[in-house]
């Protein structure tokens, strides 16, 4: 029997236990996994997705991810990757993760002035940074592999090479917004996790705020205010952003007609779809498709 949402005990805060013999923590895990949830922690974290595709959430950012997705998150910035899989499909490895602390950076800065070259990178990470480019991703993957297989000075050297590579890269996008940073949504993140997971599962159909509120055993008015404070977006804005993100994916990677995509992602009429798409992307769906690699 599924647990009642009101009794769900998953914590929002993830306590990361440091490695006694290393200031750099490397982990990898598959999907599904208990670590896959909307959460935050005090450490910096570099995520490399190696298998599966789905939706990524960083602060108030919503996007699609595929193998090769590389994102650096700063302290206390909520994040989650939700793989969209066939029923029963699992992955032994999905994420490779390198974790390090602000204390490490501050201590190193006091001894090695060269560490200040990372300051701009670490400041940007508080919004979440997605890195681009096959060559960069390949180099990062190799260095993360080296970190996973070494200890001591060799691990530290690989970590510093990795950070230098990221700091020098100009191939990146910032993800979360200034508005979300001001909200500082650390309270009740487990309930946000429940809401986001439910929305991701059902956004392709007519999904109301009242239904999600009932799923969380909350009054609709309270849920509306709670959701906006926690995510930086109104419920309808969140739903529309999720649908438009999926529409962009289909426009870029399929030959489905635009009308079919409109209904597939959950809109009930083409005019509303076109209006929402224009508002979020600054162009029509047909213009967006012309810019994609498929060359429509």
Nearest to 126 by CA among 206, 85, 182, 81: 182
Average pLDDT, the chain: 83
Q: pLDDT at residue 73 above 90?
A: yes
Q: What is the pLDDT of residues 171-228, one digit of tens each?
A: 999 998 876 654 444 445 667 778 888 888 888 888 999 999 999 889 999 999 888 8
Reply yes or no on whether the pLDDT at 10 is more than 70: no
pLDDT at 254: 86
Residue 183 pLDDT: 47
**Parallel, antiparallel, or unpaired: how do β-strands 54-58 and 172-174 relate?**
unpaired
């Amino acid at each position: 029997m599924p647990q009642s949402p009101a009794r769900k005990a998953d914590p929002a805060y993830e306590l990361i236990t440091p490695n006694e013999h290393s200031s750099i923590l490397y982990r990898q895990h598959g999907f599904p996994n208990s670590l896959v949830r909307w959460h935050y922690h005090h450490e910096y974290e570099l995520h490399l997705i190696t298998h599966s595709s789905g939706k990524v959430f960083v602060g108030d950012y919503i996007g699609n991810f595929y193998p090769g997705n590389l994102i650096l998150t700063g302290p206390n910035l909520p994040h989650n990757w939700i793989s969209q899989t066939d029923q029963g499909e699992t992955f032994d490895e999905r994420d490779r993760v390198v974790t390090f602390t602000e204390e490490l950076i501050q201590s190193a800065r006091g001894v090695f002035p060269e560490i200040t070259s990372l300051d701009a990178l670490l400041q940007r990470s508080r919004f979440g940074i997605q890195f681009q480019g096959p060559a960069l991703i390949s180099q990062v993957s190799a260095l993360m592999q080296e970190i996973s297989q070494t200890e001591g000075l060799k691990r530290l050297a690989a970590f510093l090479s990795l950070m230098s590579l990221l700091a020098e890269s100009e191939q990146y996008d910032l993800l979360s917004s200034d508005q979300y940073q001001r909200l500082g949504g650390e309270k009740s993140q487990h309930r946000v996790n429940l809401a986001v997971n439910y929305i991701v599962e059902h956004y392709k159909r007519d999904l109301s705020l009242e239904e999600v509120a009932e799923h969380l055993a909350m009054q609709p008015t309270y849920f509306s205010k709670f959701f906006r404070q926690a995510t930086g977006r109104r419920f309808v804005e969140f739903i529309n952003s999720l649908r438009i993100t999926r529409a962009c994916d289909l426009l870029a990677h399929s030959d489905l007609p635009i009308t079919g995509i409109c209904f597939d992602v959950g809109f009930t009429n083409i005019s509303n779809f076109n209006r929402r798409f224009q508002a979020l992307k600054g162009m029509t769906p047909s213009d967006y498709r012309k810019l994609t690699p498929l060359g429509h």
